Chain A
Amino acid sequence: MNSFYRGLRSGVPIALGYLAVSFSFGIIAVSLGLDAPSAVLISALTLTSAGQLAAVGVIASAGGYITMLISQLTINMRYAFMSVSLTQRLSPRFRGVLRWLLGFYITDEIFAVASREEEITPSFFFGLSLLPHIGWTLGTLVGALVGGILPEAVLSSLSLALYAMFVAIVLPAARAERSVLAVVLVAIALSSLFYFLPPLTAVPSGLAVSISALLAAFFGAVFFPRTEGEVEK
């Protein structure tokens, strides 16, 4: 039981960070037209930041089911990579239902903490995941309730918050590594073509984003293949 409490303690800072981010998610979801129960349900069962934000964007613009699927698969593909890397450190006690439940809790931050363990036990891992899950859901509820009473001008400005978060994720990485910068510039160039160049503007925006991203990452993998140390980080 000791490792459960150690997990809980490690989850406290993550939960506090999640409260703030999911609060913004709740506000954004409501500003895009979702109701509070839908926003909370999405947070409680999805537990991703960029994926959820993209999802409410697709729902709000009636972007289509295929677009939803492709946007989720491309944005969340990194989780598959994290899961693959965690399979190397799992305690043999992760069996059956526990092994299936584990996947639900793979987020950037939980992965970051869990990957520091030599061997990940179920009690540590679920202790670690509990508070962030509560924080993420609770923050969304409060944000959605607050968002419902904000004036129109404020909500329209807040729709930019989502993109500001994306900038905060991408820019530091692009600054640190020229390869990431190159990939980012290619992705922006391609998505701009889809946005402005007449025959391509017919492509639905979610699909355009996915194609741009896949091509840009392909470009990166061809021209800037990463060495072992860089990938492991």
Chain B
Amino acid sequence: MTGFPIYFLILVGSTYLIRALPFSLMRGTVKSRFAKSFLYYIPFAVLAAMTLPEALFTTGNIISAAVGLLVACAVALFSRSLSLSAALSSGAALITELLLSFFSRG
């Protein structure tokens, strides 16, 4: 956890300024269609790039991670709840891991 204060300052400072500066700097609206489209797509692009392939290697077992992610996709098809997706996905990964360790032992 070395350097936490500096990480913390960068996190808090950048998060605050990116939200607060527009209120002081911007007096008009974004007109460019390109800029508007870019700003619209950026959050989805960031989250997608953060999730795959990285998430497959977070649980220390690619099979349980894949099962968890598939469950997250299935949940997202009928619900927009972040908490439900998080709970069912981790639950599925945990059960898979327990089953795998059970069978590899037996």
Contacts and interface: CB of A to CB of B under 8 A. Distances in A.
A218 B37 CA distance: 9
Interface in B5-62: 6-8, 10-12, 14-24, 26-27, 29-30, 33-55, 58-60
Nearest to B84: A168
B46 A80 contact: no
A80 B22 contact: yes
B37 A226 contact: yes
Contacts of B52: 188, 191-192
Contacts of A72: 10-11, 14-15, 18
A45 B37 contact: no
A154 interface: yes
Interface of B: 1-4, 6-8, 10-12, 14-24, 26-27, 29-30, 33-55, 58-60, 64-65, 68-69, 71-73, 75-77, 79-91, 93-94, 97-98
B4 A224 contact: no
Majority secondary structure of chain A interface residues (helix, strand, loop or mixed): helix
B1 A226 contact: no
A21 B57 CA distance: 23
Majority secondary structure of chain B interface residues (helix, strand, loop or mixed): helix
Contact of A213 (B40, B45, B75, B86): B45
Given A45-B12, A226-B36, A160 B59 contact: yes
Interface stretch (A5-13, A83-91, A126-134): A83-91
Interface string A199-219: 000000100111011101110
Contacts of A62: 2-3
A50 interface: yes
B26 A157 contact: no
B68 A76 contact: no
B15 A83 contact: no
A112 interface: no
Contacts of A220: 37-38, 40-41, 45
Given A68-B7, A160-B58, A217 B23 contact: no
B10 A68 contact: yes
A78 to B, nearest CB: 5
Contacts of A59: 1, 4, 7
A104 B19 CA distance: 7
Given A170-B44, A184-B45, A195 B53 contact: yes
B46 A209 contact: yes
